[in-house]
Structure 1
Amino acid sequence: MKPIRIALAAVLACLAGAAAAAAPDKRVQALDRIATSYHALGQLDGAVLVADNGKIVYQRAFGLANREWNVPHTTHTVFRIASLTKQFTATLILQLAEQGKLSLDDKIGQYVPELAPEIGNRVTLHQLLNHTSGIVDYANFPGFWANRLGEKVPKADFLAIMNRPLEFEPGSQGHYSSSNYTLLGWVVEKQTGKPFGTALDEMILHPLAMRETAYDAPDRIIPHKASGYVRALGSYQPAAPLWIPNVGAGGGVASTVGDFFKLDRALAGDKLLKPESKRLMFTPYVKDDVWGDLGYGYGWLIGTRTIAGKARLVHEHGGNANGFRTLVTRYPEDGKLVLIFLNEGNGNKGPEIYRMRSDFSDALYGKPVAPPKPSLHDLLTAEIRRKGDDAALANVTALLARSGKPDDGNGLNMLAYQYAEAGQPATGIAVLKLAASLFPQDGNLYDSMGELYLAQGDKEKATAAYQRAVELEPKNTNAAEVLDKLTRK
C-alpha cells in the first residue's frame, strides 16, 4: 500500500497547489476596492501599480487622459512625472562617476563656471545630489514663474537665483531645491557632450527597454501622453503650458507606471549601478524638510516607517507639476512597490496621494483599510456653492464629521487662493480663518491671510496677519520682508 499512499499524497499536494493558485489574492481585491473608492471621490484620475516580491500584483487606470476628447486612461498612459525625474538624474551622475568622468567630491564650479566663486568653489556634486548645497531654489523663489511658465527662461535668470547668498553652510543641513538638479543636468550635458534627453536615452532608457519613457522635450512627440488638469473650486480646467527645458533634469521626464516599474527592478539589481553606487544613492544623509520623517539620499528620500505594525525600510519620492502629481514608494527589503501617477495637480504636494499610498501599502501588507473619506476642502467647496459662505462655514462641524480633520492646512490654503483668483477674496479669507482655527501653529496660513488682506487694501489686518506669521515661523523671510515694508514709516 505504500506506493499508493505516496501517489495519493502527491495528488493531494497537486490539488492543494492548484487550489492555492486559483484562489484570488484578497489583497488584490482590497487594492481595487481602495482605488475605486478614491476614484469615486474624485481624488484618483490616473494609473496605479502595486508590486510584491518584484512582481506586479495590481495595475489599473482610472478616469480620463484627455477631458476635451473624453479619452480614458490606460495602463500605457504616459504622465509627466515631475520630480521623479531626479531619480534618473542621480543615476546618470553615479554612472558617470563609475566611468571616471567625474568625482562626487568635485566642486560644481568646475562644470558651471558662471556660478559665483563663493558658491561654485564650495558646493560639491555630493551636496547637490542630497540637497545639502544651500543653493537657493529657483522653483519656489517668489515671482520667478510669474507670467512665463510656458516660456523659455534664459539660463542667466536661473543663475541669478542660484548666485544669491547660500541659505546655509553647504553640508550642514538639508533643504529641497530643484536648483540642485538643474545644475546636475548641466553637468551631465557637459561630461557626455550630449543633450540631457539623449544621455538619458542612451544610458538608462534604451538599456532597460523603457520604451514608454522619454525626456519630454518640446520637439518630441510622445504617444499616449496625458493632458494635465487643475482642479479649482470643484471643477477641472486645463493646466497652464509648461516649457519643459525650464525644469529639465529636475522634472522633465514622462513615463508610465509600467515603465517606472522597470527602473525599480533595475535598481533592485546591478544592471544600472554598482552596489557601492546604490549604497551612496540610498543612504539618508540628512533629515528631509518635505515631510520630516525620512532623510535625503541621492534623488530619493530614505528611512523607516511603521507599516502594518512593523518598522520597514522606505525609499520614496513625490513629483508635483502643473497638471500632474506622482508618487513612488519602495519597500526594498520585501520587493514591494506602490506607484501612483495622476494627471491633476497645481504644483503643490496634496495630501490625497499620500493617503492613497498609505492605504495601498497597508493593504499590500495585509492590514485592513477603512474606506477613504472625502476631503474637507471638497466638501466645503460644494457647501459654499449651495448655501453661501456664512451658512457653509457655520456647518463646518458636520463637514468635519464626514471628512475627519485634515492632516494639515495645505488643502484649505490652496482653496483660499482659488477663491481669491476667482474674484472672491473675502471667501478666501474666511476659509483661511477656518484653517487657522484648525491649525493655529501654521504660520503659512497667516502669511496667506496677510497676502489676501493686502490685495483688498486692508493694511491693518494684513500687518497683524504677517506679524503672526513671523511669530510662528521666524525663518519666513517673505513674510518678514512684507511686514517690514508695511511697518516702515
Structure 2
Amino acid sequence: MKKIIAILCILISGFNSFGQVNPNEDLERKIDQLFESYTAYNRFIGNVLISENNEIIYQKSFGYADFDKKIKNTQESIFGIASLTKSLTAIGIMKLVEEGKLTLETPLSSYFPDFIPEYSKLITIQHLLNNSSGMQANIGRIDDAGNGLMPATNEVTLDSLLDVFKDSQLNFEPGTAYEYNNFGYLLLASIIEKVSGQSYEVYMQQNVFNPAGMGNTFSNSSGNLGQRAYPYFGLGMDEIKKFESPYHSSWLKGAADMYSTTDDLYRFMQALEDGSLLKPTSVNELYSATQEMGVNTMASGLGWVIDQKEGEKWVYNSGLLPGYAAIMGSLPEKNIKIIILSNATSVNPVTDEFQGKMTFVEGEITDKIIALLLGKPIELSPLPKQNNRNFTQVNKEFQLDDEHTLVLKSEDNTYYLETVGEENWSVFTYSFSRDAKEDNKTSEIALFFAKAFSTQQFEGLSEYGNDQMKAFLGTAQGQDQLKGMWANFVNHAGEFRSYNIYKIEGDEVKNVHVRFHFETIDIGMVLSINAADKIQGMFMDDAVKTSHISKVVLVQTGDHEFFIDGHRNGGMQDLRIIVSDTELILIDGSERFIGKIQSSN
C-alpha cells in the first residue's frame, strides 16, 4: 500500500510540473520580446548580458558588427564603451590609494602646480572622480559661455590642452556641486602615469584588466580590435552608415577611449565584488564618496552613478560616443547585473542636433529590463503585421475638431495619414495645437495674457496678477523683460502665427499651458492661476514639441490598428491608430483623441 501511495505521489508531482512554466524560460521569452520590439524598428544592435545571483541568465547578440561585410555581432564582439572607461580609470586610481601612493584628498596642484594655480590646490582627486571639480576646462562639452573643447581626429597632448585651458576659471567651488567633466579623467590618467611610472595603458592592463580576467579590454591605441563592432549612425532610421572619422584616442584617454566586451565587463563587476581588484572598504568608497547631482536622489560616485529604479538601488555608469552606446549597472540588493553594448547611435551626438533619442539603451531598454526582472509589466511597441494579404484601398476623412482633420489613405500598397486644417499642423503635435480653452475666468485670464504678450501691449495685464506678479507685470522693468523674451522668441523661431490654450490642469490652483505658434518653432508657457483668479507665477513649458510633418507612413500592426514610428519622423514620439467604420482613435501616450468619420471613398 505504501508503495502504491509513493507511486501516486510521484505521478501527481509529475503532472503538476508538466503544467508549469519554467520561470527563467518565461523571463527569457519576455526579454526576447522586448528586444524583438526594438529590432523590428531598427532601434537596437549590439550585445546584452544579464546575470542574477552570479549566474548569467540572458546573453544574446543583435545586428551586425560590420554591415558592409555582413559580419554579425557575437559574444566576442568588442565595442567602444565610451564613458564606462571612467569606471575602469577610477579603479586604477583607487589601487594607488590602497598602496598609499596618493589619497582622495590629494590636491591637483601636487601633480600640475602650474595649471590654474589659483584653483588647482582646491581641487582634489575625489573632485575629479565624482565630477565636482567645478572646472570650466572640459572636453566633449562646451557650456553656454563657450568654455570647453570638442575632440578631433588629430592627436593632442595633455600639455597642449593644459596650455589651452591655462586661463580657465571655476563654475563653482570644488565639492559643492555637480558638473560632468571629461577633462578631469584625462588628468586622472596622467596622474596614474606620474605616480606609477608606467603608461596609462600598461598600468591598467597589469593592475585592472589582468587581475579581473579581462582579456579583451584595451585602450583604442593599444588593443587588438580584430573582433571590433564598428560604429554606425542611423539607429532607428531607414539607412545605417558607418562612422568613418573617429576621434583620436588621445582626446579621450582615461575618459572614453576603452574597448571591451560584455563578458569582460561582467568579469570586471564580479572582480569588484569578490575582492580581486580592491578591498571591500575601497569598493564601498566608490559608491559613498559622492556628490549630489541635483536630480531626485541621484549621486555621482567615483566613476559610478547611484540612483533608484523601481524602488531599488541602482548603481551604474553609461557611455555615449558617435556610433557607440553602453551601460553597465547592478541592483545590488537583488544581485542583478545588466550590461548592454551597442554599436549604433541615431546621429553624431557631438555635432548633430536631433530632438529624438540618440540611443534607446539608457532609459528605455534598461528600464524595461529592470521592470521585467522585478516581475513588473512593460509596454512594447507593436510588431508589424506579417503577410498582410488583406490590404485594401482606402481614402477616409476623420474630424478631430473644427480645425483639425485626419485623412487615412493608401498609395502603392502603403497606408498614410495626412493632416488637414486651416493652419499647418502635425499629428505629432495635435495635443499642443488643439484648443482646450474653457468657458471660465481661468481661460479668460490666460488668453488675455497671451494676447498682451504676443502684441506687446500690456495695458490692464497687471490687474490679473497677485501682489507679487502685479509688481512685475505692471512695471516698466517687468514689461521690458517680457519684451526681451518675445524678441528672443521671434529671433529664434521666426514669424509669429497664433496662440492657443492646449491644457489646463489642477484644482484650486490651475496651471494653464499656452502654446505660441511661430514659423519654425513652437514655444510653450505655463501660467499658474490661483483660486482668487490671479496669476501667481509663470514659467517656460519644455513639454511643447515642434513638427512640420503633415504626412506619415503607417505600419499596420493589426486588422484595424497602425503604428506611427515617431523616431523616423524627426525623433518625435511614437503614436498608434485604431480605425473603425465610424471613427479613428489617435493614441498619444496616455491621451486618446477621437476623430469622427466625415467621408469615405
TM-score (norm 2): 0.60
CA distance in 2, matches of 1:172, 1:235: 45
1:164 is matched by which residue type in structure 2?
Answer: S
**1:298 positional shift:** 0.5
Alignment length, in residue pairs?
Answer: 403
Give the drift of 1:435. 7.9
- Residue deviations 1:400-424 (CA, integer Å, cap 9, x gap): 89xxxxxxxxxxxxxxxxxxxxxxx
- Picking from 334, 344, 349, the partner of 1:347 is 349
State whether residues 304 and 313 of structure 1, in contact with CA within 8 Å, keep that contact through their aligned partners in structure 2: yes
1:101, distance to aligned residue in structure 2 (A) = 1.1
Q: Does structure 1 residue 153 correspond to structure 2 residue 143?
A: no
Structure 1 position 182 matched with structure 2 position 186: yes
The yes-or-no answer on 1:316 pairing with 2:404 is: no
Matched, 1:433 2:521: yes
Q: CA deviation at 1:269?
A: 2.2
Single out whichever of 249-258 and 160-169 deviates more from structure 2.
160-169
CA pair 393-169 structure 1, distance change in 2 beyond 3 A: farther
Among 365, 369, 375, the residue aligned to 1:366 = 375
Q: Please give the residue correspondences for 1:16-165 in structure 2 after superposition, counting only pairs within 5 Å.
A: 25-136=25-136, 137-141=138-142, 142=146, 149-159=152-162, 160-161=164-165, 163-165=167-169
In the alignment, which of 249, 253, 264 is matched to residue 248 of structure 1?
Answer: 253
Change (3 A) 1:129 1:389: farther
- Out of 349, 361, 366, the residue aligned to residue 357 of structure 1 is 366
Cα distance in 2 for residues equivalent to 1:104 and 1:77: 35
Name the stretch that deviates more: 128-137 or 29-38: 128-137
* Larger strand share, 1 or 2: 2
Supply the distance in 2 between the matched residues of 1:121 and 1:10 (Cα, whole angstroms).
Answer: 74
What is the deviation of 1:111? 1.6
After TM superposition, give the deviation of residue 368 of structure 1 in Å. 1.8
Q: 1:237 aligns with which of 234, 241, 246?
A: 241
Q: 1:197 to 1:12 in 2, by over 3 A?
A: farther
One-letter code of the match for 1:347?
P
* Equivalent position amino acid for 2:97 in 1: A
Tell me, in whole angstroms, the C-alpha distance in 1 between the residues paired with 2:419 and 2:141.
31
- Aligned counterpart, 2:461: none
Cα shift at 1:153? 2.1
C-alpha spacing 1:442/1:183, structure 2 compared with 1 (3 Å): farther
SS state at 2:329 partner = strand
Structure 2 equivalent of residue 458 of structure 1: none
Aligned residues of 1:284 and 1:302 also touching (Cα < 8 A): no
CA contact (8 A) 2:107 2:120 kept: yes
Whole-angstrom CA distance in 2 between matches of 1:67 and 1:315: 33
Query: Could you list the per-position Cα deviations for residues 98-146 of structure 1 after superposition, in whole angstroms to 9, with x for gaps in the alignment?
Result: 0111111110111223412122211110111111111122220258656
TM superposition shift of 1:15: 9.4
- Once the two structures are superposed, what CA deviation does each residue of 1:198-243 show, in whole Å capped at 9, x if it has no partner? 11110111112111211121x5432211111122874322223211
1: CA distance, partners of 2:420 / 2:257: 43
Aligned to 2:285: 280
In the TM superposition, residue 22 of structure 1 has moved relative to its aligned partner by 6.2
Residue 452 of structure 1: aligned partner: none
Task: Give the CA deviation at 1:82.
Answer: 0.4
Q: Secondary structure at the match of 1:333?
A: coil
Amino acid at match of 1:223: G
Q: 2:270 matched to 1:262?
A: no
Change (3 A) 1:365 1:23: closer
Which of structures 1 and 2 has the bigger CA Rg?
Answer: 2
Going from structure 1 to structure 2, the CA distance change for 1:45 and 1:80 (only over 3 Å counts) comes to same
SS of residue in 2 equivalent to 1:51: strand
Ranges in structure 2 where 5+ consecutive residues have no aligned partner: 351-356, 384-415, 433-492, 495-516, 527-538, 547-601
Structure 1 portions without partners, runs of 5+? 375-385, 402-424, 447-489
User: Is the 1:329–1:357 contact (alpha carbons within 8 Å) kept by the matching residues of 2?
Assistant: no
The structure with the greater share of residues assigned to helix is 1
**Post-superposition CA distance 1:381-403 (Å, at most 9, x none):** xxxxx9999999723248989xx
Whichever residue aligns with residue 228 of structure 1, its letter is P
> Residue 319 of structure 1 aligns to which amino acid in structure 2?
G
Matches of residues 364-403 of structure 1 in structure 2 within 5 Å?
Answer: 364-372=373-381, 394-397=425-428
Give the counterpart letter for 1:259 in structure 2: D
The code of the aligned residue for 2:426 comes to: N
In 2: Cα distance, 1:435 partner to 1:196 partner: 48
SS in 2 for 1:42: coil
* 1:261 partner letter: Y
Would the aligned equivalents of 2:78 and 2:227 in 1 still touch at CA under 8 Å?
Answer: yes
Q: 1:101 aligns to what SS in structure 2?
A: coil
SS across alignment from 1:304: strand
* 3-state SS of paired residue (1:235): coil
Aligned-pair distance for 1:154?
3.2
Q: CA deviation at 1:339?
A: 1.6
**Deviation for aligned residue 1:8:** 8.0
Q: Does 1:300 align with 2:331?
A: no
Structure 1 letter corresponding to 2:249: I
- The alpha-carbon distance between structure 1 residues 281 and 56, as it changes in their structure 2 partners (threshold 3 A), is same
- Residue 203 of structure 2: SS of its match in structure 1? helix
From 189, 195, 204, the equivalent of 1:200 is 204
Tell me how far 1:288 sits from its aligned partner.
1.9
Q: Which moved more, 1:77-86 or 1:350-359?
A: 350-359
Q: Tell me, what secondary structure is at the counterpart of 2:325?
A: strand
With over 3 angstroms needed to count, the CA separation of the structure-2 counterparts of 1:292 and 1:82, relative to structure 1, is farther
